[in-house]
């Protein structure tokens, strides 16, 4: 008998639309393959939906804040029902770019140089700090958003304007800009699933490049790098997955520049839409969308 699957999607983060799309795609695929499925928002009706539907497993299709930062995971722990992706602590660490980058560095994983900026600090000091630590252009981004939401590459001239735009976050990450090739790696449990290179038509692989079909980002698979370099890349992604304590499927975002791989971040709940990278990597390895989802459901039932 097929499992009853409750899909959590939507939410209140800036990635709500992507989450709804992920939930819909997963739901369609499961229903097509004989599963009984219910989609639920992570709202006040969640407990009622779980009690009435009695799922054997929960597919967490939420993205962004409250969905992949440990918050909803701590809520789900109360119900004692297996759920997909990483647990509370790993989700929390991976979502916090400052903490995760410090862990990468401690474990000898290259990541762009960075520092954090809180808005009680004079902006004049920031320019001096950037010039001392690295140079312009720099990347400015929130500490805990996904899907490249509110990520900017900026020069000295526009820095203050960008910081002003992001002031609601209270604290942002200012990071060394690394040029080079954009490569994403998928890890599936203990399996080094594969990688894909992205060539965005836009300045970088931002929110629009990820989700707007008109942005025409080129996907290249297999990645054209020497076997020894590819092996090194996969080992770094697998190491990051393990040291953060991740579970299920993750996607790590890298820049490849002058023979070095720089890990930007690790995503504990990568998208499962028609434009998503993990399903594309899996398919290249002969794993269909339904097989990928079924593996995730089975993996959810193993001890966290």
Q: Distances in Å between the alpha carbon of 155 and those of 31, 46, 158, 160, 205?
A: 49, 45, 6, 10, 18
Which residue numbers are catalytic?
A: 15, 147, 211, 251, 253, 265, 267, 271
Q: Is 36 left (phi over 0), alpha (psi -120 to 50) or beta?
A: beta
257 bridge partner residues: 260
Query: Where is average pLDDT lowest: 90-99, 103-112, 121-130, 208-217?
Result: 208-217
pLDDT tens, 19-70? Answer: 999 999 999 999 999 999 999 999 999 999 999 999 999 999 999 888 899 9
Who wins on pLDDT, 40 or 150? 40
3-state secondary structure of 137: coil
pLDDT tens, 179-190? Answer: 999 999 999 999
Architecture per CATH, 4-86: 3-Layer(aba) Sandwich (3.40)
pLDDT at 209 over 50: no
pLDDT tens, 259-275? Answer: 999 999 999 999 898 77
pLDDT at 245 over 60: yes
- Per-residue confidence (pLDDT) for residue 114, from 0 to 100: 94
Domain boundaries, the chain: 4-86, 114-176, 179-300
For the domain made up of 179-300, give the CATH fold. D-amino Acid Aminotransferase; Chain A, domain 1 (3.30.470)
- Per-residue confidence (pLDDT) for residue 213, from 0 to 100: 52
- Per-residue confidence (pLDDT) for residue 211, from 0 to 100: 44
Write down the pTM of the prediction. Answer: 0.90
pLDDT at 135 over 60: yes
Q: β-strand 218-220 against 181-188: which pairing, if any? A: unpaired
Sheet holding 114-118, edge to edge: 114-118, 171-176, 138-142, 152-154
pLDDT at 215 over 60: no
Mean pLDDT along residues 105-121: 92
pLDDT at 128 over 80: yes
CA dist 53 and 37 (Å) reads 9
- Per-residue confidence (pLDDT) for residue 8, from 0 to 100: 96
pLDDT at 205 over 50: no
Count of CB atoms within 10 A of residue 255's CB? 20
pLDDT at 147 over 60: no
pLDDT at 76 over 80: yes
Mean pLDDT along residues 95-113: 96
Who wins on pLDDT, 188 or 157? 188
Are 198 and 184 a contacting pair, CB within 8 Å?
Answer: yes
- Per-residue confidence (pLDDT) for residue 171, from 0 to 100: 86
CATH number (3.40.50.300, 3.60.90.10, 3.30.1490.20, 3.40.50.1110) of 114-176 reads: 3.30.1490.20
């Amino acid at each position: 008998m097929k499992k009853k699957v409750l899909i959590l999607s939507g939410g209140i983060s800036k990635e709500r639309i992507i989450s709804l799309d992920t939930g819909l795609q997963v739901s369609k695929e499961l229903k097509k393959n004989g599963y009984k499925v219910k989609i639920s928002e992570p709202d006040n009706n969640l407990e009622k939906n779980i009690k009435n539907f009695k799922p054997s497993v929960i597919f967490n299709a939420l993205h962004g804040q409250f969905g992949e930062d440990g918050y909803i995971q701590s809520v789900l722990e109360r119900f004692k029902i297996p759920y997909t992706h990483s647990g509370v602590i790993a989700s929390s660490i991976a979502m916090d770019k400052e903490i995760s980058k410090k862990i990468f560095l401690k474990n000898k994983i290259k990541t762009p140089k960075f520092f954090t900026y809180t808005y009680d600090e004079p902006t004049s000091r920031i320019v001096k700090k950037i010039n001392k630590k690295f140079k312009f252009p720099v990347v400015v981004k929130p500490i805990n958003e996904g899907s490249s939401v509110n990520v900017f590459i900026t020069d000295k001239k526009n820095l203050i304007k960008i910081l002003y735009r992001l002031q609601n976050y209270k604290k942002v990450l200012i990071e060394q800009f690394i040029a080079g090739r954009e490569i994403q790696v998928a890890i599936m449990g203990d399996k080094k699933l594969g990688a894909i290179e992205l060539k965005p038509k836009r300045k970088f692989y931002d929110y629009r490049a990820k989700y707007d079909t008109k942005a025409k980002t080129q996907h290249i698979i297999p990645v054209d790098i020497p076997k020894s370099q590819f092996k090194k890349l996969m080992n770094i992604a697998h190491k990051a997955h393990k040291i953060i304590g991740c579970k299920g499927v993750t996607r790590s975002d890298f820049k490849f520049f002058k023979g070095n791989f720089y890990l930007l971040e690790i995503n504990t709940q990568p998208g499962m839409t028609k434009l998503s990278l993990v399903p594309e990597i899996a398919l290249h390895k002969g794993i269909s969308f339904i097989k990928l989802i079924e593996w995730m459901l089975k993996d959810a039932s193993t001890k966290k």
